[in-house]
């Protein structure tokens, strides 16, 4: 059984933060960085598949930026 199968398809801010073991404030910061979400009035909701995809892409982007930084530091002056 996939570890993500127990997650509901639509998650609240609190559920999403609890799943990733971070604060709700950190989730709000991720929203500012482009975490996909939608609003129902003032309520914030997340689609499970979009959140997991974003975090996978974000992790890959962070690796790419790190590797670029290392490569740039190794360039001769």
Polymer length of the chain: 77
Domain boundaries, the chain: 10-74
End-to-end CA distance of the chain: 52
The torsion of the CA quartet 5, 15, 11, 63, rounded to 10 degrees, works out to -70
User: Model's pTM, two decimal places?
Assistant: 0.66
Strand locations in the chain (E): 10-12, 38-40, 43-47
**pLDDT tens for each residue of 14-64:** 999 998 899 999 999 888 888 899 999 999 999 999 988 888 877 766 666
b/e code 14-29 from CB counts within 10 Å (16+ = b):
ebbbebeeeeeeebee
């Amino acid at each position: 059984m996939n570890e993500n199968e127990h997650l509901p398809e639509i998650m609240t801010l609190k559920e999403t933060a609890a799943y990733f073991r971070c604060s709700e404030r950190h989730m709000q910061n991720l929203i500012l960085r482009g975490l996909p979400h939608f609003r129902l009035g003032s309520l914030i909701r997340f689609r499970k598949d979009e959140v997991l995809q974003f975090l996978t892409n974000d992790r890959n982007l962070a690796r790419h930026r790190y590797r670029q930084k290392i490569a740039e530091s190794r360039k001769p002056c």
